[in-house]
C-alpha cells in the first residue's frame, strides 16, 4: 500500500516537513538494520480521533530500545504526547502512526560507538485495511512458510526490531509468490509462532489457543487486547505450543495486530479451516474490537487516548 504524504514528521522533539525527514546513506541503520519501531492506529470516533493503546505501544518501543542498548532521551509519556501532537499537526481524523528509533550517521563499525547518534522519528499517514476490507468478513488464504522464526538466542523476538522484519519479508514474499495472502511462521521447534507481521489465534473445541511469547512470538498489543476481550466473554484461553496440524483441524483461526486488526483465516495450505469463513467466536471478538476502537461501545479498559482534533479544521 503506497504511502500517503502528510505535512509533518516529528524528529527528536520538533516537527519538520515530511520531505525534510531524511537520513544519510551511510547511517548505521541502513547497513545493519539497527532500529526499533512501533505501529499504532488512531481511529475515527464520534468523540474525535483516538489513539489505540498509545502508552502500551510507547512502552514497548522504549523496552525494545533498551534491549538493543539504545539510550532514548524521551520518556514513555513524552513519546505519547508527541504522537498526539503529530496527529493534531497533520489534522488527521484517523491514521497509522509509526515511531522509529534508529542509529544514525557517525560510525560504521558493527559495534555502534558513541559517535553514532540515536535518532527518533515519528510519522503518520492514512492507511486502510492491511489485508483488504473483504478479508475482515471472508477471511484470507495462508500457507505455512518454509522460513522459521529466529531462535530465542539469535534475535530477540520480544523486541520490535527492524532487523527481525528481514525474516518477515521472506515469509511474506514466499506466501505472495505462491498465491497466498500471508504466511505462518513456525518456531525453531516446529510449533506455530505467528504470521509475518501478525499474532495468530486458533479456536479449538470452544477454547481460544495462542502460542506463548517464549515461542518466538512478539508480545502483541492487539494480542493482549484479544486475550482481555476473551476473558470478558468468558471464552477459555489456552497459551501453549501449537502443532502445525492443529491449524488444519481448528474450528476457526484468525490473525491480529495493529495492521491486520482482527482478520479471519479461511484456509491453511489449501486446507479449509472450519467452515471456510469467519467463525462465531472470531466474529464476536472482531465486532467488539471494532466497536471499542470506533467509540461505539464504552471504553471500559481505557484503551483509547483522545487526540481532540477538530476534524476538517483549516491548516
Cβ–Cβ < 8 Å for 251, 204: yes
CA-CA distances (angstroms) from residue 310 to 86, 231, 272?
Answer: 14, 35, 46
**Exposed/middle/buried for residue 136 (C-beta within 10 Å: 0-12, 13-18, 19+):** buried
**Number of Cβ within a 10 Å radius of residue 306:** 14
Bridge partner residues of 265 (DSSP) = 140
Stretch (H or E) spanning 28: helix 28-32
Whose CA is closest to 278, among 291, 264, 288?
264
The two beta strands, 140-144 and 182-186, are: parallel
Whether the Cβ atoms of residue 186 and residue 244 lie closer than 8 Å to each other:
yes
Residue 264 belongs to what H/E stretch? strand 261-268
Candidate list 5, 8, 44, 160, residue with the active-site label: 160
Active site residue 160: yes
Are 216 and 188 in contact by the 8 Å Cβ rule? The answer is: yes
The rounded distance, in Å, linking the Cα atoms of 249 and 107 is 52
Active site residues: 160
Amino acid at each position: 500500500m503506497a504511502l500517503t504524504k502528510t505535512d509533518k514528521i516529528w524528529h527528536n522533539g520538533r516537527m519538520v516537513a515530511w520531505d525534510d525527514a531524511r537520513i544519510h546513506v551511510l547511517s548505521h541503520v541502513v547497513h545493519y538494520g539497527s532500529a526499533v519501531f512501533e505501529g499504532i492506529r488512531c481511529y475515527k470516533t464520534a468523540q474525535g480521533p483516538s489513539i489505540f493503546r498509545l502508552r502500551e505501544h510507547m512502552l514497548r518501543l522504549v523496552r525494545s530500545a533498551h534491549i538493543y542498548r539504545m539510550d532514548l532521551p524521551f520518556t514513555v509519556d513524552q513519546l505519547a504526547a508527541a504522537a498526539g501532537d503529530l496527529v493534531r499537526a497533520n489534522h488527521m481524523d484517523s491514521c497509522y502512526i509509526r515511531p522509529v528509533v534508529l542509529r544514525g550517521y557517525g560510525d560504521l563499525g558493527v559495534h555502534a560507538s558513541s559517535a553514532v547518534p540515536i535518532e527518533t522519528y515519528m510519522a503518520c499517514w492514512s492507511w486502510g485495511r492491511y489485508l483488504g476490507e473483504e478479508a475482515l468478513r471472508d477471511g484470507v488464504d495462508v500457507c505455512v512458510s518454509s522460513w522459521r522464526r529466529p531462535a530465542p538466542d539469535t534475535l530477540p523476538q520480544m523486541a520490535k526490531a527492524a532487523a527481525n522484519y528481514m525474516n518477515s519479508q521472506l515469509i511474506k514474499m514466499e506466501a505472495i509468490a505462491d498465491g497466498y495472502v500471508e504466511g505462518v511462521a513456525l518456531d525453531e521447534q516446529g510449533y506455530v509462532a505467528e504470521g509475518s507481521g501478525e499474532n495468530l489465534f486458533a479456536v479449538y473445541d470452544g477454547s481460544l489457543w495462542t502460542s506463548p511469547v517464549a515461542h518466538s512470538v512478539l508480545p502483541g498489543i492487539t494480542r493482549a487486547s484479544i486475550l482481555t476481550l476473551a476473558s470478558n466473554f468468558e471464552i477459555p484461553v489456552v497459551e501453549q505450543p501449537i502443532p502445525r496440524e492443529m491449524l488444519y483441524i481448528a474450528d476457526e483461526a484468525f490473525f491480529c495486530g495493529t495492521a491486520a486488526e482482527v482478520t479471519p483465516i479461511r484456509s491453511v495450505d489449501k486446507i479449509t479451516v472450519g467452515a471456510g469463513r469467519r467463525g462465531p467466536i472470531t466474529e464476536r471478538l472482531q465486532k467488539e474490537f471494532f466497536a471499542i476502537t470506533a467509540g461505539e461501545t464504552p471504553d471500559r479498559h481505557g484503551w483509547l487516548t483522545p487526540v481532540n482534533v477538530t476534524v476538517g479544521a483549516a491548516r
